[in-house]
A = this chain, B = another copy of it.
């Protein structure tokens, strides 16, 4: 690709990524309805007919943007966990990716969910994949803990699944909070640490068989 700066020389795959970059930015900033194909073509530095030639319609461009950003998020979380198979690594990876790709996160968490079922379903499928992944991580942590501890409690499958749903919901909410400036400049790492304070201490207690119960806080 070296030297391919003339617009005629850029390969289709590269052009498409530039159009998706422009789409993500425009949809995240202006919303799906307000973002125009004119804006997107201009942001991408191409003609509007070329955008239609490559991506067919605004609907298909939106879907392609959602799929790319969802795949990038899932890949980032998986890559972070592959280093050491720790929940903490996955959370850090998630918050770091959301912080580094604020427009991608807005596209997935706000735009894709507020413009009807086909788009919401794309995001729901990605979310289910992440919940399943977190369920496996919690299950693995619980088994590892059970090997090391004398009086460890086994977590039921539904309990692990519930904890995974709680953790993913908390992470989404914290990423929004950290992303929109209300967090007073809290970093992605701080958001991850805040959540781990919730999750790990609670999970650790559960595994020790000393879970919280209503009696304990009067």
Contacts and interface: CB of A to CB of B under 8 A. Distances in A.
Nearest to A213: B193
Sorted from nearest, which 10 A-B pairs have the closest CB atoms? Answer: A169-B173, A198-B202, A166-B170, A170-B170, A201-B202, A165-B177, A201-B205, A169-B169, A162-B194, A200-B212
* Contact residues of A: prevailing secondary structure: helix
Contacts of A184: 158
A17 interface: no
Interface string A163-203: 10111111111101110001110100011011111111111
B158 A186 contact: yes
A6 interface: no
A161 interface: yes
Nearest to A177: B165
Which of A176, A196, A198 counts the most chain B CB atoms within 10 A? A198
Interface residues of A, number: 55
B182 A173 contact: no
B217 A200 contact: yes
Interface of A: 31, 33, 86, 88, 113-117, 120, 158-159, 161-163, 165-174, 176-178, 182-184, 186, 190-191, 193-206, 211-214, 216-218
Contacts of A173: 165-166, 168-170, 172
Contact of A202 (B31, B117, B162, B197): B197
A56 to B, nearest CB: 23
Given A114-B116, A166-B170, A201-B212, 14 more contacts: A33-B116, A158-B183, A162-B191, A165-B174, A166-B171, A166-B174, A167-B170, A168-B173, A169-B170, A170-B198, A193-B211, A198-B203, A200-B202, A201-B202
30 contacts: A33-B117, A86-B218, A88-B214, A113-B113, A114-B115, A114-B120, A115-B116, A158-B183, A158-B184, A159-B194, A162-B194, A163-B194, A163-B197, A163-B198, A165-B170, A166-B170, A166-B171, A166-B174, A166-B194, A167-B198, A169-B170, A170-B170, A193-B214, A197-B203, A198-B198, A198-B199, A199-B202, A200-B216, A201-B206, A201-B212
